[in-house]
């Protein structure tokens, strides 16, 4: 606080000295900002002294929003404690320098190592739990996905004199969640023949050659690019593409709508579209560090193209009827190269009449992949009953969409 008053004394003297030749509007604005920061902190402190309770704390771009027990909210802007003369409206410290990655239901206990402060409470993202007691912060991850936040900040709020002290831990679930700016940049438009998944066609060879890779910093699951097929390296060779295309009316959806699903994903707006059958050489997903982990489960659904072909028919395949079926096979590969597999239904011909009658709807389903064991990579294949094949191989569209890939360390 002494530094704060000294700062204003120096500013005042400087302003008097140069007032005749200096436009001090920027200086006045800076002083007003500093005063506002102190008022914001005092507002929260006064509410606490009056018996109010902080119900939630949410990080913003330049500070925090505090919601009090009476429903009022106070926005507090960070100061810059490292800059001489600038009071810190919020004293912030990171209890961990890196993001803490949690399995479902996992518990972490982190020492806060703090003295001279009065701890008020610990606040966690939706679905998470955080308790600070006796200098130890206990964080528990959600037991299931549901409405739980995939990532966020656990914040311990304390007071020290006239200052607010916030100690933070960045947390994330061990789930491949393809929402956010990084993933949005990987979504192609148009769905077929776009620059990201195909690139320009070579006019001499009539082939495509494009590099499309991605890696998730939380789970470390990565897609390392398309294989080469008939001289082309593109999505038509088989692979995993990020998408957010959702259109409820899937009738007449063909290959030009290959990245589309008829129902929105269970969380967020983005998902992954797989293309590739039993003849695909592409390893769909692999852990970037080469270490084996268990893929617990994924959420999956048939794409609009598959739904239209199977239910209405497209001139090449369908409509399906009993005993026809389309299914997905997952092949896991461990550190020694051993393979395990699991299968699940995509659509059964016996259900087509129910889809047409509206008594059965297309929904995202959960697929347990823990039976694969610990794997370094997993490959997906779309396959089907004998009538799904013809003279030129697999006649059905070899697509499905998936999201929320849950990993266990």
Q: pTM of the predicted model, to two decimals?
A: 0.84
The tens digit of pLDDT for each residue in 75-95 reads 887 655 444 444 456 788 899
Q: For the chain, what percent of residues have pLDDT higher than 90?
A: 67
Are residues 51 and 64 in contact, defined by beta-carbon separation less than 8 angstroms? no
Tell me how far apart the alpha carbons of residues 147 and 144 are, in angstroms, rounded to a whole number: 9
> Which positions ≥6 away from 197 have C-beta within 8 Å?
188, 210, 212, 234, 235, 241
pLDDT for 156 equals 93
Task: Give the number of other CB atoms < 10 A from CB of residue 395.
Answer: 17
Taking 50 as the pLDDT cut, the residues of the chain under it are 1-22, 26-32, 34, 81-87
Residue with tokens 């009539």: 206
The tens digit of pLDDT for each residue in 1-34 reads 333 333 333 333 333 333 444 455 544 444 445 4
Selection from 263, 229, 243 nearest residue 194 by Cα: 243
Q: How many residues does the chain have?
A: 409
Q: How far is CA 399 from CA 46, 274, 278, 293, 346, in A?
A: 59, 5, 12, 25, 10
The tens digit of pLDDT for each residue in 356-388 reads 999 999 999 999 999 999 999 999 999 999 999
Alpha helices in 125-180 (DSSP H): none
Tell me how far apart the alpha carbons of residues 73 and 209 are, in angstroms, rounded to a whole number: 53
CATH, range 52-79+89-173: 2.60.40
Domains in the chain: boundaries: 52-79+89-173, 176-408
Record: fold of 176-408: Jelly Rolls (2.60.120)
Tell me how far apart the alpha carbons of residues 39 and 44 are, in angstroms, rounded to a whole number: 9
Q: Please, what is the Cα angle at 254 between 253 and 260, to 5 degrees?
A: 60
pLDDT for 91 equals 82
Query: Taking all residues of the chain, what is their mean pLDDT, rounded to a whole number?
Result: 87
Q: How far is CA 55 from CA 118, 121, 192, in A?
A: 17, 9, 48
């Amino acid at each position: 606080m002494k530094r704060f008053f000294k700062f204003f004394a120096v500013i005042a003297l400087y302003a008097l000295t140069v007032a005749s030749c200096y436009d001090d509007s920027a200086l006045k604005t800076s002083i007003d900002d500093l005063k506002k920061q102190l008022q914001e902190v005092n507002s929260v402190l006064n509410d606490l002294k009056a018996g109010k309770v902080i119900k939630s704390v949410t990080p913003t771009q330049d500070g925090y929003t505090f919601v009090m027990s009476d429903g009022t909210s106070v926005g507090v802007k960070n100061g810059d404690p490292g800059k001489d003369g600038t009071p810190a409206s919020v004293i912030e410290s990171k209890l961990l320098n890196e993001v803490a990655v949690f399995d479902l239901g996992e518990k972490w206990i982190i020492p806060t190592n703090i003295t001279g402060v009065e701890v008020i409470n610990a606040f966690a993202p939706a679905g998470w739990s955080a308790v600070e007691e006796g200098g130890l912060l206990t964080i528990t991850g959600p037991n299931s996905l549901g409405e739980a936040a995939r990532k966020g900040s656990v914040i311990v709020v304390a007071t020290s004199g006239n200052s607010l002290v916030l100690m933070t831990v960045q947390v994330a679930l061990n789930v491949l969640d393809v929402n956010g700016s990084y993933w949005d940049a990987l979504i192609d438009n148009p769905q077929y023949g776009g620059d990201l998944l195909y690139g320009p066609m070579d006019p001499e060879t009539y082939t495509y050659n494009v590099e499309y890779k991605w890696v998730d910093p939380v789970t470390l699951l990565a897609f390392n690019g398309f294989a080469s097929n008939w001289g082309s390296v593109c999505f038509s060779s088989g692979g995993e593409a990020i998408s957010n295309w959702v259109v409820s009316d899937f009738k007449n959806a063909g290959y030009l709508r290959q990245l589309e699903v008829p129902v929105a994903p269970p969380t967020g707006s983005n998902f992954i579209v797989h293309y590739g059958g039993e003849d695909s050489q592409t390893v769909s997903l692999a852990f970037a560090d080469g270490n084996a982990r268990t893929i617990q489960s994924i959420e999956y659904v048939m794409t609009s193209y598959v739904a239209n072909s199977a239910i209405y028919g497209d001139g090449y395949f369908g409509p399906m009827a009993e005993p026809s079926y389309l299914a997905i096979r997952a092949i896991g590969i461990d550190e020694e190269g051993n393979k395990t597999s699991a299968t699940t239904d995509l659509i059964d011909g016996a259900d087509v009449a129910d889809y047409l009658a509206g008594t059965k709807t297309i929904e995202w389903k959960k697929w347990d992949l823990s039976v694969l064991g610990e794997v370094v990579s997993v490959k997906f294949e779309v396959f089907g009953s004998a009538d799904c094949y013809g003279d030129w191989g697999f006649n059905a569209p070899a697509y499905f969409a998936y999201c929320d890939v849950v990993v266990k360390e």
